[in-house]
Chain A
């Protein structure tokens, strides 16, 4: 350690010493134990017929139904349809939301005019707009995409506006003092400074886009996993319903984890790189 480092007390080369806290692995075991206990309790309640097994399947029945569902051609088609719809809904929500958010956040007139209505739409259930989407675009999977995008756009926008509010005057003053052009100010100051809001917005776009597509599929029979849940429910194949729900949960968790990893990688500069968006589903 050099004399300077001794005075200022900074790690010499920035190499971080990663140590797992002793409580961390214990915490994981406790979580696993809780999950197993809940599954055992669920199984017991069902076997003792405290609830009707026809309406609430046992965990063992659900796990046994997994190969059946995976072997069902309709289920595979539904997964493909929903996966494609979710992908496009997220793409539209994120792109339109980010562009709209930057416009709303940087043009005062637009902000004054539309910030209130955007907040209003966020505050009401989006499902009340489903009939309007049906009238406008018809009963098809494309409408599910539009409705999914609609469900996510406003969350992306509002978070991007919040991100723009994080741009600090002192950084803009540095850019000005060091002769940065408009383009450099946007690229090197505004965009990176607003990334926490943009990242949070993208996550909410993913989450709400996914929900929007599934809700549309549940309400309107246009195929996909939502419609499949309805079909299995009507046939009282509750174990299969739970398999589909489990599949949706897995998709959601995988998307969340992928996004969290990307965000952590892109946010290394932040004071706490673990302080990413709330990715709880």
Chain B
């Protein structure tokens, strides 16, 4: 088992001293090489949960472990993040961005660049190594962000709405290619998304969170083998799961029913 969350609870304290529960009663296990998507209403704590998984946020109660080790602070070798809005460092070229995690870990420049180059080849951007992020499209920048995470050779990849800032056409094209890459690299992946299509297309398992305070309302398994081609979107399995998600997210009574 790659990741385990036990009785996880996150409570924020407002400026006025009031406690606001963001997540409650989260119990979850993610297996090796499993691709899990997390979906839920806006503000339900999806990103908060991902930050807890990666050690960027300490839960108010409960525990997160990766391969049996408790997560108390970020460790990109254990869990590496891919954030929503690219977050490449604009003053570093593409290769140095891909190798930045290794640079922060104190590895030599040569080693970092060799690994960075290898990861850029994996995502098909090796010929753009010397360019600056501003010279790349949004989709390409996000590929570099994936290369940056993969360069750390992490046990788990944590992706926070990684394609949220892209247009629909680029999302589909990139999603299909990244699905293949991530399947080939055999990582466990947890991806937060607000897109029903993405949630179904990528996942082995979909975790549906209820509205704030977020709790797991339902888990849905997607049986089709990965990697999937874009034709999967036209299958009955895709349509049925998508309809189920739509019902859960758009019809409040359905979510309440599922939560019980």
Contact = CB atoms under 8 A, between A and B. Distances in A.
Partners in one complex: yes
Interface of A: 4, 7-14, 170-171, 173-181, 184, 188-189, 192-193, 195, 268-271
B134 interface: yes
A8 B137 contact: yes
Interface in B67-111: 74-76, 80-81, 83, 85, 87, 89-93, 100-101, 103-105
Interface in B30-75: 54, 56, 74-75
A14 B91 contact: no
Given A178-B101, A179-B101, A192 B89 contact: yes
- Interface size class on chain B is 35 or more
Nearest to B134: A271
Interface stretch (B16-24, B125-133, B204-212, B221-229): B125-133
A173 B134 contact: no
Contacts, number: 84
Given A7-B170, A9-B137, A177-B76, A171 B130 contact: no
Given A10-B136, A170-B87, A177 B54 contact: yes
Contact of A193 (B91, B93, B124, B140): B91
Nearest to A195: B91
Given A14-B128, A179-B74, A174 B103 contact: no
Contact of B127 (A13, A176, A177, A188): A13
B90 A181 contact: no
B76 A188 contact: no
A181 B104 contact: yes
A277 B238 CA distance: 54
A184 B105 CA distance: 10
B135 interface: yes
Contact of A174 (B89, B133, B135, B152): B89
B90 A14 contact: no
Nearest to B78: A179
Given A11-B135, A13-B127, A171-B89, A178 B74 contact: yes
B83 A173 contact: yes
A178 B80 contact: yes
Contacts of A179: 74-76, 101, 104-105
A189 B132 contact: no
25 contacts: A7-B170, A7-B173, A8-B137, A10-B136, A10-B137, A11-B135, A12-B127, A14-B131, A170-B83, A171-B87, A171-B89, A174-B87, A176-B56, A177-B81, A177-B83, A178-B80, A178-B81, A179-B74, A188-B92, A192-B91, A193-B91, A195-B91, A269-B90, A269-B133, A271-B134
B139 interface: yes
A169 to B, nearest CB: 10
A62 to B, nearest CB: 46
A269 B132 contact: yes
Of all A-B residue pairs in the complex, the 10 with the closest CB atoms, nearest first, are A192-B91, A180-B104, A178-B101, A14-B131, A8-B137, A269-B91, A177-B81, A269-B132, A174-B87, A178-B76
B103 A188 contact: yes
Interface string B136-160: 1101100000001000100000000
Contacts of B76: 177-179
A8 B140 contact: yes
